[in-house]
Amino acid sequence: MSAPILSVRALERRVGDVEILRRIDLDVMPGEAIGVIGPSGSGKSSLLRCIAGLDEVSGGAVMVEGRQTRPGDGAVGMVFQQFNLWPHLTARENVALALKLVRRMPAADAAAKADAALARVGLGALGGRKPAALSGGQQQRVAIARTLAMEPRVLLFDEPTAALDPELTTEVLDVIRDLAAAGTTMLVVSHEMGFIARLSTRVVFLDHGVVVQAAPPAALFGAQAEPRVRSFLQTYLDRVAWARDA
Ligand SMILES: Nc1ncnc2c1ncn2[C@@H]1O[C@H](COP(=O)(O)OP(=O)(O)OP(=O)(O)O)[C@@H](O)[C@H]1O
Ligand SMILES: [Mg+2]
């Protein structure tokens, strides 16, 4: 049995009187894809942001490979709903930027690494394009390549397709699925329940900042769902049904 690559221990986040995350415990093994679901305001983004070091935690710890993470150590990479690409830079330059500025990589090496990352998301031919000349799905794939290029140990996706038209969603989900199949450790927040059901090794259901249930998708989307999970999923039953039968 190998050790967890990511350990979240008694993680708490409070802002004023508001308890956003309440003693979250989660161990993620190398190569796992954890789906994170739950109602709006349940703390999904906060959990990912705390793991990524973007939100201050009030208690507990986040460890990657047994070491407490520090902001900027690159252990965790995050992909957001909004792509946040620089409009005046090409796809390649967008991906290479942090390699040059943060990793101090020489420009030619950073460009080569950026091209390799773009190739992994199926955009090897489009590195010279600026965001305005790319579809939303392609822009999100550039954003994924930008995160991949930093070689994080754990990848976090916060509703990566929520800003996309339905037809463009598939190409981004395909990229995430391929990364998972290649053994990338990841946590994915998404309302695409069929995708989560098929992608995830385990699914975590959050409500009011608490993990209500963490279980393999067959259990959480099936007969072993907790009542709160079941009532939430009622709204998604049609889509979950085809995912379960697939
Ligand atoms: N800086 C903050 N100050 C006060 N409350 C906050 C802050 N950030 C988040 N919250 C609150 O924490 C709770 C969890 O927010 P979070 O964005 O993590 O939820 P979520 O599950 O990602 O929701 P959604 O599905 O709508 O994206 C919400 O009630 C939100 O209003
Ligand atoms: Mg959110």
Q: Is the CB of 48 under 6 A from ligand 1?
A: no
Q: Is the CB of 42 under 6 A from ligand 1?
A: yes
CA dihedral 133, 138, 142, 143 (to 10 degrees): 110
pLDDT, one tens digit per residue, over 165-202 is 988 999 999 999 999 999 999 999 999 998 999 999 99
- pLDDT, residue 71, reads 77
| Residue 204 CA: distances (Å) to CA of 112, 152, 217 | 37, 22, 9
Is the pLDDT at 225 greater than 60? The verdict is: yes
188 closest CA partner among 161, 207, 209, 149: 161
- pLDDT, residue 72, reads 78
CA 217 – CA 155 distance, rounded (Å) = 20
Band of residue 114 on the pLDDT scale cut at 50, 70, 90: very high
Look over the chain and give the mean of its residue pLDDT values, rounded to a whole number. 94
Q: Is the CB of 106 under 6 A from ligand 1?
A: no
- pLDDT, residue 73, reads 85
Q: Is the CB of 56 under 6 A from ligand 1?
A: no
Q: Which atom of ligand 1 is nearest to the CA of 47?
A: 18
Is the pLDDT at 2 greater than 90? The verdict is: no
Q: Is the CB of 234 under 6 A from ligand 1?
A: no
- pLDDT, residue 240, reads 55
CA 108 – CA 105 distance, rounded (Å) = 8
pLDDT, one tens digit per residue, over 57-112 is 999 999 999 999 887 789 999 999 999 999 999 999 999 999 999 999 999 999 99
- Spell out where 29-165 has E strands: 33-37, 59-64, 67-68, 76-79, 154-158
Is the pLDDT at 123 greater than 80? The verdict is: yes
Fill in the DSSP letter of residue 3. Answer: P
φ/ψ (deg, to 5) at 213: -155, 140
CA 121 – CA 131 distance, rounded (Å) = 15
Instruction: Output the CA 50–ligand 1 centroid distance in Å.
Output: 12
- pLDDT, residue 234, reads 86
Instruction: Output the CA 40–ligand 1 centroid distance in Å.
Output: 8
With tokens 């990589």, the residue in question is: 105
Q: Is the CB of 45 under 6 A from ligand 1?
A: yes
- pLDDT, residue 151, reads 96
Q: Is the CB of 18 under 6 A from ligand 1?
A: yes
**More confident: 238 or 182:** 182
Residue nearest to atom 3 of ligand 1 (CA): 15
CA 70 – CA 76 distance, rounded (Å) = 10
What tokens does 199 get? 């992608």
What tokens does 146 get? 């930008």
Q: Where in the chain is the domain with CATH 3.40.50.300?
A: 1-75+154-246
Band of residue 143 on the pLDDT scale cut at 50, 70, 90: very high
Lowest mean pLDDT among 154-158, 170-174, 227-231, 235-239: 235-239
Instruction: Output the CA 129–ligand 1 centroid distance in Å.
Output: 35
Is the pLDDT at 238 greater than 80? The verdict is: no
Is domain 1-75+154-246 given the CATH code 3.40.50.300 in the classification?
A: yes
For residue 46, which ligand has an atom nearest its CA? 1
Instruction: Output the CA 18–ligand 1 centroid distance in Å.
Output: 10
Q: Is the CB of 181 under 6 A from ligand 1?
A: no
